[in-house]
Amino acid sequence: MGDFLPSEPGTCEICSVEHKPELPHDAQSLFYQYKFYNEHGRWPTWKDAMAHCSKEMKKHWVSELRKKGVEVNRE
Protein backbone atom coordinates (compact mmCIF):
# COMPACT_ATOMS: atom_id res chain seq x y z
CA MET A 1 0.00 0.00 0.00
CA GLY A 2 1.29 3.42 -0.82
CA ASP A 3 0.99 6.90 0.53
CA PHE A 4 -2.38 8.34 1.42
CA LEU A 5 -3.92 11.61 0.44
CA PRO A 6 -4.00 14.03 3.35
CA SER A 7 -7.09 14.09 5.54
CA GLU A 8 -9.76 16.65 4.77
CA PRO A 9 -9.00 20.14 6.12
CA GLY A 10 -10.37 20.56 9.63
CA THR A 11 -10.36 16.84 10.39
CA CYS A 12 -8.05 14.60 12.38
CA GLU A 13 -4.97 13.76 10.32
CA ILE A 14 -5.06 10.18 11.64
CA CYS A 15 -8.70 9.22 11.01
CA SER A 16 -9.96 12.04 8.77
CA VAL A 17 -12.94 12.65 11.07
CA GLU A 18 -13.64 15.87 12.93
CA HIS A 19 -13.21 15.21 16.67
CA LYS A 20 -11.54 16.76 19.69
CA PRO A 21 -7.97 15.53 20.32
CA GLU A 22 -8.94 13.88 23.62
CA LEU A 23 -11.54 11.66 21.91
CA PRO A 24 -10.75 8.34 20.22
CA HIS A 25 -10.11 8.13 16.51
CA ASP A 26 -12.99 6.73 14.50
CA ALA A 27 -12.15 3.03 14.31
CA GLN A 28 -14.77 2.62 11.58
CA SER A 29 -13.27 5.28 9.32
CA LEU A 30 -11.90 3.63 6.18
CA PHE A 31 -9.20 6.31 6.08
CA TYR A 32 -8.10 5.30 9.60
CA GLN A 33 -8.34 1.58 8.91
CA TYR A 34 -6.17 1.65 5.80
CA LYS A 35 -3.69 4.15 7.23
CA PHE A 36 -3.31 2.01 10.37
CA TYR A 37 -2.96 -1.19 8.31
CA ASN A 38 -0.32 0.46 6.15
CA GLU A 39 1.67 1.44 9.24
CA HIS A 40 1.15 -1.65 11.45
CA GLY A 41 0.36 -4.54 9.11
CA ARG A 42 -2.93 -5.33 10.84
CA TRP A 43 -6.41 -3.87 11.08
CA PRO A 44 -7.06 -1.48 13.98
CA THR A 45 -9.32 -2.18 16.92
CA TRP A 46 -11.23 0.21 19.13
CA LYS A 47 -8.42 -0.25 21.66
CA ASP A 48 -6.02 1.10 19.04
CA ALA A 49 -8.36 3.98 18.25
CA MET A 50 -8.44 5.08 21.88
CA ALA A 51 -4.84 4.25 22.82
CA HIS A 52 -3.98 7.97 23.15
CA CYS A 53 -6.97 8.72 25.41
CA SER A 54 -7.00 9.20 29.16
CA LYS A 55 -7.95 6.30 31.41
CA GLU A 56 -11.28 7.98 32.17
CA MET A 57 -12.06 8.54 28.49
CA LYS A 58 -11.24 4.91 27.67
CA LYS A 59 -13.50 3.70 30.48
CA HIS A 60 -16.35 5.86 29.18
CA TRP A 61 -15.93 4.69 25.59
CA VAL A 62 -15.63 1.01 26.53
CA SER A 63 -18.86 1.36 28.53
CA GLU A 64 -20.71 3.10 25.69
CA LEU A 65 -19.44 0.67 23.05
CA ARG A 66 -20.51 -2.25 25.25
CA LYS A 67 -24.05 -0.80 25.28
CA LYS A 68 -23.93 -1.04 21.48
CA GLY A 69 -22.82 -4.69 21.62
CA VAL A 70 -19.12 -4.04 20.98
CA GLU A 71 -16.73 -5.81 23.36
CA VAL A 72 -13.56 -3.73 23.20
CA ASN A 73 -11.42 -5.99 25.38
CA ARG A 74 -12.10 -9.02 23.15
CA GLU A 75 -10.68 -7.37 20.04
Q: What single-letter DSSP state applies at residue 53?
A: S
Q: What single-letter DSSP state applies at residue 64?
A: H
Q: Cα separations (Å) of 30 from 57, 59, 60?
A: 23, 24, 24
16: left (phi over 0), alpha (psi -120 to 50) or beta: left
**What angle is formed at CA 15 by the lines to CA 62 and CA 47, rounded to 5 degrees?**
25
Q: What is the pLDDT of residues 8-30, one digit of tens each?
A: 889 999 999 999 999 999 999 99
**What angle is formed at CA 60 by the lines to CA 17 and CA 43, rounded to 5 degrees?**
50
Q: Which amino acid, 33?
A: Q
Predicted confidence (pLDDT) at residue 51 exceeds the cutoff of 90: yes
Percent of the chain with pLDDT over 70: 92
